[in-house]
Structure 1
Amino acid sequence: MTGAILYVSEYLLYAGRVSVTASILAEDRITLTPMADSPELARALDDANVPTLLAAYAYLTHDADFLERFAPHIRPAYSNPPTDIPEDIADELRIRIRRLLTTGDGLADSTPSDALVQRIMSVTVGEPVEDEFLELVYDQCGFRPWIDRSKVAGRKTPKAGFKVLVIGAGMTGMAAATKLREAGYDFVVIEKNADVGGTWYENRYPGVGVDTPSHFYSFSWEIWPQWSHYHPHGADMQRYMLAVADKYDLRRDIRFQTTVERLVWDEKTCMWTVTVRNSAGACEDIVVNAVINGHGPVNRYKMPDIPGLADFNGPVVHTANYPSDLDLKGKRVAVIGTGASSAQLCGAIAAEVAELTVYQRTKHWVIYNPEIAHDVSEGMKWALANIPTFKEWFRFRVYWSAADGLFANVLKDPAWEGNMQAVSEGNEMTRQYALSYMHAKFADRPDLIEKLTPDFPIFSKRIILDNGWFDALARPNVHLEDKGIARILPNGIEAPDGSVFECDVIICATGFNVSKMVGDLEIKGTGGRDLGEEWGDEDPRSYLGMCVPGYPNYFHTVGPNSAPNHAAGQNLISEAQVNWIIEALDRVNEAGARAFEVRQDAFDAWNRKVDERMPQMIWTHPRANSYYNNSKGRVFLSWPWRLVDFFNATRRPEEGSYRLIA
């Protein structure tokens, strides 16, 4: 989940619990039951975000002329000068939408045209939004979900006995379970943990949070109005996952505390034999037609390879396996790593520990987003839950500001000659914003500015959203070490110069083994091919991040070159891949075939396309080196286009790109 900036004002104060209902039908009509006119409603509208209210009003009324009165005053996110809507027309909007909500006066009798929706999008984000984004917005913002296969006339019901096994019950696995059931497929989910949530079940360290905004980092079919924070804490995210599992009754098809160990393809039967092990250690073979691997790349945490680590006398923990009973109060703590997890952790524990030393190997760009610490007011929750289309339009604004609206940052400008720390004028402006924030925070600490300032372009590695990280580093009990670690002693950490920091606890915020995408799984395909051997420890390749020739009916989600590393959007990638996979299974079902396999020529052509694109991207800058790249410099993780391009590419398998095995 890459970081992103999103500036959000205080939207609504408490507006009371009055009732409003709306039915938004994709094809034709909108109906609305008027709500009570009340002081709470008036106050809510006074505090509401004006562009979002405008979008909802224009959608419900089709009042294009009134919409255009705002166009000169709304500017793109992060622009200078910022959006500045005159109070007179803002007040007129509040009066109009109050009348609409309380009386129904002005409500259109049909949904707006594509042209009007596109114009609402463009006006309310302050820049042109092209028509290629329409289908994504309709689907991902909940206006017109892409497809409910259970309601498709003439669609062939999946063949009885055709079974799918899903690995993992994190975001992708839960999406797969929801949509497989909707599509009528028999399936089972295998989950190693005791409940759903994946990353958000496992990551429980102090300060854990999400750098993707809440109102976008969620399922498009379950847009939640109950977020407590604009950027969810880890517990917020897990509560959402649990609520989704409850609402859709997902647990009845999940086998918990069970681990998948081996997948073997049988060419004669066109079936996968999946070996699983339960919590008691007993193994079982499950024979299925297809496998969707949703175990994710940030599921296998990585301990640092430092001499003496096993000999330390105190607790040694990883942030991804943080014990709930670890007490740090008054302790001397060493944190190894300075990425996103470390920044969140240190911001949360610095005030309670006696001494904190943070060991930095890699510098990271840090961006301040004042919204990250803001709570969602009860009024905003009420508006999201009750004002027709408000939550849909708010989700669109978040998507635009935190995802594809940021794409220009990662695209190299061939004409850029400014410096080696940026790839374009816009990228340099973002870098200067981050620098100005750092210099302001550490005006009296030039030593920290020197230690923290990267020499590579911003966005070429994952950025950090500051939520207490810089404040923690400025504390007198916190020390940032950038000279490396020689070894771990039983009583502390020794630096290369021989100095020792004596500590009671070592916390490793050292990330995950992202490049070995099969993890510990053994995956045997056609002719005994071994996917782990073919991909090795750091060189995975696939088709659309999902398929590999020689492994029929095996779909590896969130795979090579499918990560949205320009900004937010892993939720969209997961949903899009699940959609494509079910479309692929439907091709098998419709043809009466047994298996789906991507063609070698399509696989090769796709990877050539990715390789040809990468030199245009920031991640191939000479100074960029991150977990997006392997040791040879190849960018194996990142999707080098926009989210809308991934969405449009995964509506259905391209004819000629695959073969069906009869």
Structure 2
Amino acid sequence: MSTMQHHSAERGSTAPVHQLPMQDSPELKAALEQANLQTLLMVYVHLTHDESMLETFKVHIHPPYTNPDYQIPQDCIDDLREKLLYVLTTPGAARNEDPPLALMQKMMTVSVGEPVENEFIPMVLEQSGFQRTAARKEKAERTPPPPGFKVLVIGAGLTGLLASIELERAGYDHVVIEKNEEVGGTWWKNRYPGVGVDTPSHFYSYSFEISPEWNHYHPHGADMREYFRSVADKYDLRRHIRFETRVLSLVFDEATALWNVTVENVKTGERDVIRANAIFNAFGPADRWSLPNIPGIDSFRGVLTHSAGYDEGIDLKGKKVAVIGTGASSAQIVATIVGEVEEMVVFMRTKHWMINNPEVTKEVPEAVKWALRHIPHYKEWFRFRVFWFAADGLYPNVVKDPNYPEDGIAVSALNEGMRQYALSHMRHKLASRPDLIEKLTPDFPIFSKRIVMDAGWYDALVQSHVTLDDTPIAEILPDGIRMKNGTEYKFDVIICATGFNHGKLVKDLVIKGRGDHDLAVDWADEEERAYMGTTIPGYPNYFMSVGPNAGPNHAGGLNIVSEAQVHYMIECLDHMIANGARTIEPTQDAFARHNRRIDDRMKHMIWTHPKAKSYYQNSKGRPVGPWPFRLVDMWNEMRGPVQSDYRLD
């Protein structure tokens, strides 16, 4: 199959039917004035197939990181807006058919100012919302799941909801087990001040459900909750979900080829067993948290909370507040509450690279929302641009240049350029506080651990009532915190922004597979490994999301990995059923070969740099989180199972 031919797909299936011509209205004119210019160009060419306009603009469009201050000539802008207004408001001016794929590829290349090669086209068409895999249950040649076949999904967050939607479209009976009282997973539970997403809003969503309603270019927690609730409503997903229920164990029965799943009601403690043919473990790495192991933590008489279990009713006004931790959650919390508290001390355990991204707090103008809602194809082309610049273009940042010293502060010229960019921002923001610059400057390469977006973090730290203390904490007292150097602080509130328990991917879940396979034994000493981050030998019909070495840690978002893995799971089950088998699992040879490939590639990646220390690694330093290849490689490899790599029974 040519790379320009997409797998069986519905062309344009996600786009609403727009009524053309549109009314020439003040709202339309405002949208044309404020909407993204490159996206408007794509809309015009999409509706007219006018390649001459691409030729006019291609010399003026550059990737944002190469020439950020370049201004497109005003006469070109005026001409585009005038022509697009005419096409949108004049009967018969727009063509009814979509552009051919060759023209779509040319449009993409012009839109982002750099080549969009053939290998990216199928993934980009899907991720931009232009194509969607056809519903499998509508295919006459497909072998449908046998009566009574059931899939059990663990978790109703981003990945679990997606699995429910796709399993329904594939004709699989399924049940979703969710420990919370509502959908959304980590975005339902996390309600700390300033909670938000690093990934851009218009990409951090399902490719087939692109929302025009985001209030910020990077979504806040409330936006995420509303998005997932609206998706659950639209697809009627709650009928599949058992809320306030926790999965305790998964035990495979070889005689029946079924999984016995013990679940517990989180309120009553009542337990029962569900029998399922297949399991999809969809809870993510940011699922379980615990308070830090600091002596005296139980003695504190004030308010003590973790960011992941934050009570929105906590009153911080005029209070003395401690924030323990300096990662992404801490940066958001500190920037949000700094104007409310009387005094704040931030306790730093580890340093982080902070990136300036002015869009992190920027609101989406109403005129742009209007364009996303009403202008044909605008939201798909807008998502394409957002996705492109948040995806594999960032991959070279995490690849080691062999000419750079193994233990240096950067791994390549590009990586050093990003380090200097981050340093320049820090020095600008902290010019009046050289002491903070010294405290905050990391000694490891940028991107070797998760970077943090600056949404007011540096501005908060220079406030007169804020202290950054990097001395180790000795103990928590009934009324405050004592440091190892003897300094004592008094606090009303302690907020622990200390992250999640990433040490065990399946946490405390008991998983026993075929024969003597027990995942606690197979993954002892944190040696967590899988095939394609999704399946494991000895665990038939068991699939997991964002498993070992499947994390999109150089770019993109969890959503693209989740869509690839859900698609892969259903392709595996379809392959099994079409062959009359009851179980499918990877062979030991395929598993070993895949992990050798991961280890060999990881030697060339930033995450094995001697100064890289993060939750991407296990306690022995092996990176168990990151996928060391490009996102397009993952997407292409997960179109379906390599049949010889799987055992059917």
How many Å separate the matches in 2 of 1:453 and 1:334? 22
Q: What corresponds to 2:47 in structure 1?
A: 60
TM-score by length of 1: 0.94
Moved more, 589-598 or 416-425: 416-425
How many Å separate the matches in 2 of 1:469 and 1:630? 29
Residue 371 of structure 1 aligns to which amino acid in structure 2? E
CA apart distance, 1:145: 0.7
Native 8 Å contact 2:34 2:368 kept in 1: no
Q: What corresponds to 1:261 in structure 2?
A: 248
CA apart distance, 1:602: 0.6
Moved more, 604-613 or 623-632: 623-632
Native 8 Å contact 2:407 2:611 kept in 1: no
Q: What corresponds to 1:277 in structure 2?
A: 264
Moved more, 115-124 or 165-174: 115-124
CA apart distance, 1:536: 2.9
Native 8 Å contact 1:518 1:531 kept in 2: no
Q: What corresponds to 1:624 in structure 2?
A: 612
Q: What corresponds to 1:440 in structure 2?
A: 428
Aligned counterpart in structure 2 of residue 208 of structure 1, from 163, 173, 195: 195
Distance 1:532 1:83, change over 3 A: farther
Distance 1:339 1:608, change over 3 A: same
Q: What corresponds to 1:430 in structure 2?
A: 418
Aligned counterpart in structure 1 of residue 457 of structure 2, from 458, 464, 469: 469
Residue 606 of structure 2 aligns to which amino acid in structure 1? I
Q: What corresponds to 1:608 in structure 2?
A: 596
Q: What corresponds to 1:243 in structure 2?
A: 230
Residue 48 of structure 2 aligns to which amino acid in structure 1? T
Aligned counterpart in structure 2 of residue 176 of structure 1, from 163, 183, 186: 163
Native 8 Å contact 2:31 2:370 kept in 1: no
Q: What corresponds to 2:399 in structure 1?
A: 411
Moved more, 161-170 or 104-113: 104-113
2:104 is aligned with 1:117: yes
How many Å separate the matches in 2 of 1:120 and 1:82? 23
How many Å separate the matches in 2 of 1:421 and 1:146? 44
Deviations along 1:94-139, one digit per CA (max 9) or x if unpaired, are 1111111111554334322222111111111111111111111111
State the identity %. Answer: 57
**Paired residue secondary structure (2:153):** strand
Residue 59 of structure 2 aligns to which amino acid in structure 1? P
**Paired residue secondary structure (1:357):** strand
Q: CA RMSD in A?
A: 1.7
2:449 is aligned with 1:451: no
Distance 1:507 1:39, change over 3 A: closer
Native 8 Å contact 1:31 1:109 kept in 2: no
CA apart distance, 1:518: 1.4
CA apart distance, 1:287: 0.7
Aligned counterpart in structure 2 of residue 43 of structure 1, from 30, 36, 49: 30
Native 8 Å contact 1:594 1:660 kept in 2: yes
Moved more, 650-659 or 411-420: 411-420
CA apart distance, 1:411: 1.4
Q: What corresponds to 2:566 in structure 1?
A: 578
How many Å separate the matches in 2 of 1:274 and 1:300? 20
Distance 1:554 1:476, change over 3 A: same
How many Å separate the matches in 2 of 1:171 and 1:268? 34
Moved more, 243-252 or 582-591: 582-591
Moved more, 187-196 or 61-70: 61-70
How many Å separate the matches in 2 of 1:373 and 1:610? 37
2:118 is aligned with 1:131: yes
2:638 is aligned with 1:650: yes
Native 8 Å contact 2:200 2:218 kept in 1: yes
Native 8 Å contact 1:264 1:272 kept in 2: yes
Residue 386 of structure 2 aligns to which amino acid in structure 1? V
Aligned counterpart in structure 2 of residue 71 of structure 1, from 58, 71, 78: 58
Distance 1:502 1:462, change over 3 A: same
Following superposition of structure 1 onto structure 2, how do residues 318-397 of structure 1 map, counting pairs within 5 Å?
A: 318-397=306-385
TM-score by length of 2: 0.96
Deviations along 1:518-557, one digit per CA (max 9) or x if unpaired, are 1111001111321022213532100111111000001111
Following superposition of structure 1 onto structure 2, how do residues 121-160 of structure 1 map, counting pairs within 5 Å?
A: 121-160=108-147
Native 8 Å contact 1:200 1:237 kept in 2: yes
Moved more, 183-192 or 63-72: 63-72
Native 8 Å contact 2:30 2:367 kept in 1: no
CA apart distance, 1:568: 2.7
Native 8 Å contact 2:40 2:378 kept in 1: yes
How many Å separate the matches in 1 of 2:75 and 2:137? 48
Native 8 Å contact 1:516 1:536 kept in 2: no
**Paired residue secondary structure (1:486):** strand
Q: What corresponds to 1:10 in structure 2?
A: none
Native 8 Å contact 1:26 1:111 kept in 2: no
Residue 578 of structure 1 aligns to which amino acid in structure 2? V
How many Å separate the matches in 2 of 1:566 and 1:626? 14
How many Å separate the matches in 2 of 1:626 and 1:572? 23
Distance 1:112 1:26, change over 3 A: farther
How many Å separate the matches in 2 of 1:106 and 1:653? 45
Q: What corresponds to 1:9 in structure 2?
A: none
Q: What corresponds to 2:487 in structure 1?
A: 499
**Paired residue secondary structure (1:523):** strand
CA apart distance, 1:147: 3.1
Q: What corresponds to 2:6 in structure 1?
A: none
Residue 546 of structure 2 aligns to which amino acid in structure 1? V
Native 8 Å contact 2:263 2:273 kept in 1: yes
Q: What corresponds to 1:84 in structure 2?
A: 71
Residue 450 of structure 2 aligns to which amino acid in structure 1? R
Native 8 Å contact 1:576 1:647 kept in 2: yes
Native 8 Å contact 2:212 2:369 kept in 1: yes
CA apart distance, 1:239: 0.5
Residue 388 of structure 2 aligns to which amino acid in structure 1? W
CA apart distance, 1:348: 1.1
2:292 is aligned with 1:292: no
How many Å separate the matches in 2 of 1:137 and 1:35? 28
Native 8 Å contact 1:74 1:84 kept in 2: no
How many Å separate the matches in 2 of 1:328 and 1:294? 35
Deviations along 1:611-649, one digit per CA (max 9) or x if unpaired, are 000111111112111110112211000011121111111
Q: What corresponds to 1:5 in structure 2?
A: none
Native 8 Å contact 1:330 1:353 kept in 2: yes
How many Å separate the matches in 2 of 1:551 and 1:487? 44
CA apart distance, 1:291: 0.6
Distance 1:345 1:416, change over 3 A: same
Native 8 Å contact 1:170 1:295 kept in 2: yes
Q: What corresponds to 1:12 in structure 2?
A: none
Deviations along 1:426-461, one digit per CA (max 9) or x if unpaired, are 111111111111111111100110111111111111
CA apart distance, 1:155: 1.4
How many Å separate the matches in 2 of 1:104 and 1:433? 49
How many Å separate the matches in 2 of 1:537 and 1:232? 37
Native 8 Å contact 2:297 2:475 kept in 1: yes
Following superposition of structure 1 onto structure 2, how do residues 311-322 of structure 1 map, counting pairs within 5 Å?
A: 311-322=299-310
Structure 2 unmatched ranges of 5 or more:
1-9
Native 8 Å contact 1:56 1:393 kept in 2: yes
How many Å separate the matches in 2 of 1:515 and 1:64? 53
Native 8 Å contact 2:23 2:89 kept in 1: yes
Structure 1 unmatched ranges of 5 or more:
1-22
CA apart distance, 1:360: 0.5
How many Å separate the matches in 2 of 1:148 and 1:192? 29
**Paired residue secondary structure (1:497):** coil
How many Å separate the matches in 2 of 1:463 and 1:127? 25
Native 8 Å contact 1:265 1:271 kept in 2: yes
